Amino acid sequence: MLEELKAEAYEANVALPRHGLINLTFGNASALDRARGIFAIKPSGVAYADLTPADMVLVDLDGRVVEGQLRPSSDTPTHRRLFLAFPEIGGVVHTHSSHATAFAQAGREIPIFGTTHADYFAGNVPVTRKLTPSEINGGAYEWETGNVIVERFSQLSLDPADYPAVLVNRHAPFTWGQTVAKAVEVAVAVECIAHMAFESLQLSPSLAPIEPELLAKHFKRKHGPAAYYGQPGC
Active site residues: 119, 229
Helices and strands per DSSP (H, E), number in the chain:
8, 7
Strand partners, 216: none
- Rounded Cα distance between 187 and 131, Å, is 23
Query: Which residues, 6+ apart, have CB-to-CB distance to 157 below 8 Å?
Result: none
- CA end-to-end distance (rounded Å), the chain: 23
Residues in the chain: 234
Alpha helices in 61-179 (DSSP H): 76-85, 98-106, 115-118, 133-137, 141-156
CA atoms within 13 A on the CB side of 143: 9
88 neighbors 223 (Cβ within 8 angstroms): no
* φ/ψ bin of 224: left (φ > 0), alpha (ψ from -120 to 50), beta (otherwise): left
- Rounded Cα distance between 152 and 203, Å, is 30
